[in-house]
Amino acid sequence: MLRYILKRVALSLITLWLLVTIVFLMVSLLPSDIARNILGNTAPEASVIAFREEFGLTDPLLQQYGRLMKSLVTFDFGQSWSTKRPVWGMISAPLLRSTKLAALALILTTPISIAAGLIAAKYRDTRIDRAIVLTGLATSSIPEFVTGALLAVVFGVQLGWFESVATFPPGTSLIGQLDYLLLPASAMAIVYFGYIARMMRSGTIRALESDYTRTATMKGLTGGQVMWRHALRNSLAPTITVVSVQIGYLFGGIVGVELVYNYPGLSRVILDAVKDLDLPVLQVAVIIVGAIYMITTLLADLVIAWLNPRARLELGQQ
């Protein structure tokens, strides 16, 4: 197990390094006069040159790359161009708020999706199954911000059940915040329902068709016992993988939902940075979200390996 963990972590670190390099290359190979664009056409040439000097835009690429790597390795993350504040200071609080929203979405969606997947598998090819599969297909294909907008219209504006603006006043209690966060979190929960339910369904069907399930049925266990003790445990592995992948996607898709509800999360920082061409902020935001995705998939792989020795073997053979 230890060897597996070390190998898997090493692979993740290589991928993370590649990810940083890809982002750096994308940013620096886009041939643009960014200083001129930030300062505007009317800015005097001298201030454009001063800007380039100040942020090292005239340095050789390798040197800029080294600076980025150094700032990431030391968790310093550099300085914003527009506010001149440290990037981490600008990102950390909104990132935490986005995490809260994402966590709520995950809490809402995971149990319901797993239950729906199990039910669909149990009543395979009946009307119930088809209804669940079709609902999942429909909801997971609609962009988060569209679902969010429709929920805001129906439950926020028309029915008035929940707040359709997610900026709660400071000092609101955790329960009180729910009132504001429930709609945006539901929008994301609805989108991810389809992915998780589908994976759970196919995993359970595979488990139900396997030899060990037949053995369990033959030795006289009831349907419920077979489901809980044998099928569920084995169909969880692909579901854990898909949930972990969704955690990464949650942070990618959250931007649209946050904008619909005016939620002061990551989206606000990112969209401001887009407006001001605040490259350091954008770059770090993309890298952090990518790193979150990689950490969650890494953790999922470790959990699966811990549950199932066969998965450990597979990586060993690669």
Partner 1 sequence: MSEASASSATTSATVLEQADAERKQARRESWRLLRRRPGFIIGMVIVVFWLVCAILEKRITPYDPFTYTTKAKLAPSADHWFGTDKIGRDIFSRVLAGARDVLVVAPPAAVLGVSLGTFVGMTMGYFRGRVDLVLSRIVEAFLALPVVLVGLLVLSLAGTSSVLAAITFDSRKVLVIYVVALLFTPIVARTVRAAVIAERDLDYVTSARLRGESATFIMTREVLPNIAAPIVVELTVRIGYAIFTVSTLSFLGVGVQRPSPDWGLAISEGRDVLQAGIWWPVTFPALAIATLVIGVNLVADSIQAVYER
The residues that touch partner 1, with contacts defined as CB under 8 A, are 14-16, 18-19, 21-23, 26-27, 30-34, 36-37, 134, 137-138, 141-146, 149-150, 152-153, 157-158, 164-165, 248-249, 251-253, 255-256, 259-260, 270-271, 274, 277, 279, 282-283, 285-286, 289-291, 293-294, 297
Measured from the Cβ of residue 286, the count of other Cβ atoms closer than 10 Å reads 18
Q: How far is the CB of 228 from partner 1 (least distance, A)?
A: 30
What's the rounded Cα separation, in Å, for the pair 247 and 297? 9
| 44 torsion bin: left (phi>0), alpha (psi -120 to 50), beta (else) | beta
3-state secondary structure of 85: coil
Q: How far is the CB of 26 from partner 1 (least distance, A)?
A: 6
Query: Smaller CB distance to partner 1: residue 219 or 275?
Result: 275
What's the rounded Cα separation, in Å, for the pair 40 and 198? 50
Query: Smaller CB distance to partner 1: residue 30 or 46?
Result: 30
Query: Smaller CB distance to partner 1: residue 33 or 314?
Result: 33
Q: How far is the CB of 15 from partner 1 (least distance, A)?
A: 5
Mind giving me the DSSP string for 185-228?
Answer: HHHHHHHHHHHHHHHHHHHHHHHHTSHHHHHHHHTT--HHHIII
Query: Smaller CB distance to partner 1: residue 45 or 175?
Result: 45
What's the rounded Cα separation, in Å, for the pair 153 and 160? 9
Query: Smaller CB distance to partner 1: residue 40 or 171?
Result: 40
What's the rounded Cα separation, in Å, for the pair 302 and 294? 12
Q: CB-based burial of residue 307 (10 Å sphere; 0-12 exposed, 13-18 middle, 19+ buried)?
A: middle
Q: How far is the CB of 206 from partner 1 (least distance, A)?
A: 14
Query: Smaller CB distance to partner 1: residue 64 or 217?
Result: 64
What's the rounded Cα separation, in Å, for the pair 205 and 207? 5
